[in-house]
């Protein structure tokens, strides 16, 4: 065989390998990237009857890149801005809706905050790794520590949370990642011997009136993202326990909400997809009751966002070229899905709306 034939065979093999890659890995995401042909190939409809959020003439856009580990997107409806965390850089950033401009150091230092949300008064709530607490930013600039310990002692490192609009209570998870590595907080000496830094990983509720902290569930090995169903009768919790516990299942849990308590823990959705599996991280519900989950750990063609129907069936997927940490619905009509993914922030309009104000 001649050198020419060998070279041609090598080029064909390389081309075939490129075509075999998922579209998200092939396309250019830079600021000068060519326009994306519609429909966007990385918005995938798995069930046309139930996944009706895909829009045929809109692209996924990378609206910012340059973070180290992007997390915790939350939308402020009155201010018309998005806030999200860059945990290792110890800051929160802000995106303004009117011109899509991004501004760093919106919160700096941020206490290595992970998740963010807003309460009924529009005050930002941050779940801070370094301080191991839940903090609230007041209108006059003060920072109020809402909670730093629960019934079992000081928290590991609060991670993500939501506000119940009917009573203003704050529900949040405490998996402890910020106490396991200094890159995202401060590594605790206890982490040398256990993936559970201080206390059992759990889900908590802070009463808006009394400030009392109640542990409401601890079945997930590392509870992470959480959200309510549109009617607030169900609470969903992502379990990322497989990062540290070999026996962990890559699932999303579902609980019945019984006033200030969670009952009836059960497997809502399994994160395995064909021959790949990863885990759910941040999650949000839309007005139809579908659960939109940021996904990590599955590699190209898996990482991005998976969408589950109210019965737990996977009905849609958004592929991204980076490990994806969290999601939220924003924009003036809550119909833009914002996605934090490793070094970047992505956005895509969808034909649905977020079920809740943040």
pLDDT given at position 14: 35
- DSSP track, 154-221: E-S----EEE-TTT--EEEEE--GGGT-GGGS---GGGGT-SS-SS--EEEEE-TTT--EEEEE--SS
Q: CA angle at residue 127 from 207 to 199, to 5 degrees?
A: 80
Q: Rounded to whole angstroms, how far apart are CA atoms 21 and 78? A: 42
Q: Who wins on pLDDT, 19 or 209?
A: 209
Beta bridge partners of 234: 256
Contact in structure between 141 and 150 (CB atoms under 8 Å):
no
Strand, helix or coil at 66? coil
Which of 283, 256, 252, 310 has the alpha carbon at shortest distance from 162? Answer: 283
Which of 263, 234, 267 has the alpha carbon at shortest distance from 252? Answer: 267
Q: Rounded to whole angstroms, how far apart are CA atoms 218 and 261? A: 12
Is residue 83 over pLDDT 50?
Answer: yes
Quote the percentage of the chain above a pLDDT of 90.
88
Which of 76, 75, 93 has the alpha carbon at shortest distance from 85? Answer: 93
pLDDT in tens, 295-346: 999 999 999 999 999 999 999 999 999 999 999 999 999 999 999 999 999 9
pLDDT in tens, 124-182: 999 999 999 999 999 999 999 999 999 999 999 999 999 998 999 999 999 999 999 99
pLDDT given at position 22: 52
Q: What is the pTM of this model?
A: 0.92
pLDDT in tens, 176-234: 999 999 999 999 999 998 999 999 999 999 999 999 999 999 999 999 999 999 999 99
């Amino acid at each position: 065989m001649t050198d020419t034939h060998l070279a041609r065979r090598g080029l064909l093999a390389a081309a075939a390998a490129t075509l075999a890659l998922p579209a998200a890995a092939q396309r250019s995401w830079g600021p000068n990237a060519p326009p994306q042909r519609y429909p966007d190939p990385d918005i995938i409809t798995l069930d046309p009857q139930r996944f009706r959020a895909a829009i045929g003439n809109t692209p996924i856009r990378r609206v910012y890149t340059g973070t180290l580990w992007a997390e915790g997107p939350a939308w402020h409806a009155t201010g018309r801005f998005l806030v999200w965390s860059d945990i290792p850089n110890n800051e929160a950033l802000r995106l303004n809706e009117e011109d899509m401009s991004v501004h760093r150091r919106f919160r700096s230092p941020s206490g290595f905050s992970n998740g963010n949300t807003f309460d009924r008064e529009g005050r930002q709530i941050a779940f801070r790794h370094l301080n191991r607490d839940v903090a609230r930013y007041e209108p006059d600039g003060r920072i109020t520590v809402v909670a730093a310990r629960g019934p079992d002692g000081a928290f590991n490192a609060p991670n993500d949370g939501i506000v119940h609009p009917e009573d203003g209570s704050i529900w949040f998870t405490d998996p402890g990642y910020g106490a396991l590595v200094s890159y995202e907080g401060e590594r605790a000496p206890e982490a040398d011997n256990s993936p559970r830094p201080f206390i059992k990983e759990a889900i908590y509720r802070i009463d808006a009136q009394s400030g009392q902290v109640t542990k409401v569930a601890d079945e997930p090995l590392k509870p992470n993202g959480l959200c309510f169903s549109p009617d607030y009768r169900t609470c969903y919790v992502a379990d990322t326990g497989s990062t540290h516990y070999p026996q962990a299942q890559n699932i999303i849990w579902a609980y019945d909400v019984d006033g200030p308590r969670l009952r009836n823990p059960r497997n809502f959705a399994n994160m395995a997809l064909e021959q790949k599996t990863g885990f759910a991280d941040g999650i949000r519900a839309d007005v139809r009751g579908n659960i939109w989950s940021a996904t990590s750990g599955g590699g190209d063609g898996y990482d991005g966002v998976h969408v589950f129907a109210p019965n737990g069936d996977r009905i849609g997927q958004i592929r991204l070229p980076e490990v994806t940490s969290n999601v939220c619905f924003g924009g003036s009509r809550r119909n833009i899905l914002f996605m934090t993914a490793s070094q970047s922030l992505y956005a895509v309009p969808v034909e649905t709306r977020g079920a809740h104000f943040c």
